[in-house]
Amino acid sequence: MRKREAKDLAIIFLWPIIAAIISLGLGVNAFGSVILFLAIPSIYLAFRGKEYVKRAFVFSIIVSIPSIIVIDYIAHLTKQWLIPTSILPFRIFNFVTLEVILWAFFMFFFVVMFYEYFIDKHKTSKVWNKKMYFLSLAMLLLFGIFLFLFLTMPSWLNIPYWYLLFGVLVLLIPFLLQLFKYPKTTSKFFLVLVYFFYMHFIYEITGLKLGWWEFPGTMFVGWVHMFGVSFPIEEIIFWFILVALAILAFFEKFEDDEK
């Protein structure tokens, strides 16, 4: 790692602490949390690694928005989590907030930019390929099925233990398939895992202290209690650990070269 990148990495590692201090000091809302914890470091890396921005942006837009609308709607419906307030006076499909959509996009973008800038360094002018075309169709199909059920059979979307189910199917299994098929490529994910576990831990404690989200339901594997807040075990397994790894598994499979 070059001196410039080492300096940038130090800044990126320090930033969640700064974001937490600003948030707690100013009582920042959920929208502000996305800006502080995700948008600002994402934009910083975008300026530092301009050659990776287009691919990261296209991949993030295509995958993050349709998937988070489905995931978040069912999570709110089943009380797996709840975002109590939004900067907008309305919610998409009655539940989905602008904050969670922005969170998803910047989360995807940040993970990919972090990986490309600090680790993979795969420079290419191509931002589209045949695999991305099929991924786009899969996202449209997913959203189409959700919309059909929402309009005709909404009770089918009331899925018990949704956090555990989608965590295993959408995050754990894709990562394990990537790990077993491409262990050398997947080994490069380690630094990403370390950073995003650390970032999510600080984000989680800050968010629960300030009421950015809640976990009002009971259908969880178990609970973690620390620093005066409580959150499901699923949050550690799937959000702290697996979400960044699964994003990279999908990115390598559909947008990158598996090298």
Task: Tell me the DSSP string of 41-83.
Answer: HHHHHHHHTGGGHHHHHHHHHHHHHHHHHHHHHHHHHTTS-B-
Classify residue 65 as exposed, middle or buried by CB count within 10 Å of its CB (0-12, 13-18, 19+).
middle
Specify the pLDDT at position 255.
76
Q: Is the pLDDT of residue 1 over 90?
A: no
Residue whose entry in the numeric block shows the structure tokens 């001196």: 3
**CA atoms of 233 and 227, how far apart (whole Å):** 15
Specify the pLDDT at position 132.
86
Tens digit of each residue's pLDDT (9 = 90 or more) over 113-140:
999 999 988 776 676 778 888 999 999 9
Report if pTM > 0.85.
yes
Tens digit of each residue's pLDDT (9 = 90 or more) over 199-224:
999 999 999 999 999 999 999 999 99
**CA atoms of 72 and 190, how far apart (whole Å):** 27
Closest CA to 157 of 168, 170, 171, 142: 142
Specify the pLDDT at position 258.
65
204 SS3 class: helix
Tens digit of each residue's pLDDT (9 = 90 or more) over 27-66:
999 999 999 999 999 999 999 999 999 999 999 999 999 9
pLDDT band at 4 (very low <50, low <70, confident <90, very high): confident
Give the helix/strand (H/E) hosting 256.
none
Residue type, 22: I
Give the helix/strand (H/E) hosting 223.
strand 223-226
Classify residue 27 as exposed, middle or buried by CB count within 10 Å of its CB (0-12, 13-18, 19+).
exposed
